[in-house]
Amino acid sequence: MSTYIVELLIQTVVETLWLTGAIILVGLFLEVIQKYTMRNFQNSLGRNTVLVTGIIGTPIHELSHALFALLFGHKIIAIKLFQRPDQDGVMGYVNHSFNKRNLYQRIGNFFIGVAPILGGILVIVGLMYLLIPQAFTAYTNILAGSLNTQTIGDINLAEIVNSYWGLIKTIFSLGNFQSIGFYIFLFLAICISAHMSLSFADIKGSFDGLLFIFLILLLLNVLNLQQFAILPLNLVQYNIIATGILMISVIFSAVAFLISLILRLVVPR
């Protein structure tokens, strides 16, 4: 009996990580890299740099929280899309309430917590479609190709790396550098990516939802119902596509960091 319980818990933990691990890892990466990015920008261009990026990035961050709060049936009590950083560095907020007895709303806490990453990616991809459509086409082709991956054995890391390296070269092609639309896109993407990281309150809220995702999967495993998938994708396909979507945030956060690092090295303070 004890062996069964241990195996059940291990299986449920693994399934929970399969479903949420990609966005958790990306969230941790963004938290680290964006801290250094803003520090570099402020050291090179001044402390008000955060206001320049924040006036674009912060409203998208907070609107993402608000949108997912509404999608999961939460009640928005107060919202501030942008303000000068307070003593805790807070530039905006969304206060919302929910019914603690409502399972759907409790699960929603996870998605509300990580919403700035998802919302930021959505806006960046939309801007890509409008301003550098050839890069958008390359990106969607990568995602479409991900559907061909059925099992772990089908994953070709070299091919995946080459695909995203090709995307980066398409985004930063010589032709794009001759287009004003590219510079508008790059500026907006940097502003958005600089404010996609999650606050402590975001992380705390998302863990509440993560717990309930774990409990639902545990219940499905106990009842042996895990084979009834609600999506037409297996977990391998899901993770490949989810990682592909999240790669946009990784790419532009890395670009923002590199630009901030160059500015810190060349701009005297």
* R_g (Cα) of the chain, nearest Å: 20
Q: Which residue has the higher pLDDT, 256 or 221?
A: 256
State how far the Cα of 6 lies from the Cα of 35, in Å rounded to an integer.
Answer: 39
User: Any idea what DSSP says for residue 117?
Assistant: H
Binned at pLDDT 50, 70 and 90, residue 136 comes out as very high
Q: What is the pLDDT of residues 7-48, one digit of tens each?
A: 888 888 888 888 888 888 888 888 889 889 989 988 888 888
User: So what's the pLDDT on residue 44?
Assistant: 86
52 touches 87 (CB < 8 A): no
Closest among 227, 236, 214 to 106, alpha carbons compared:
214
Cα separation values, 207 from 1, 62, 101, 203, 245, Å: 29, 19, 17, 6, 22
User: So what's the pLDDT on residue 200?
Assistant: 76
Count of H-run helices and E-run strands, the chain: 10, 2
106 touches 216 (CB < 8 A): no
Examine the pLDDT at 126 and tell me if it is beyond 80.
Answer: yes
72 backbone dihedrals φ, ψ, rounded to 5°: -100, 20
User: So what's the pLDDT on residue 152?
Assistant: 63
How large a percentage of the chain has pLDDT more than 90?
Answer: 43
Closest among 154, 150, 193, 218 to 12, alpha carbons compared:
218
Q: What is the pLDDT of residues 189-201, one digit of tens each?
A: 999 998 998 877 7
Report the predicted TM-score, pTM, of the whole model to 2 decimal places: 0.88
Q: Reduced to 3 states, what is the DSSP secondary structure of residue 80?
A: strand
For all residues of the chain together, what is the average pLDDT? Answer: 86
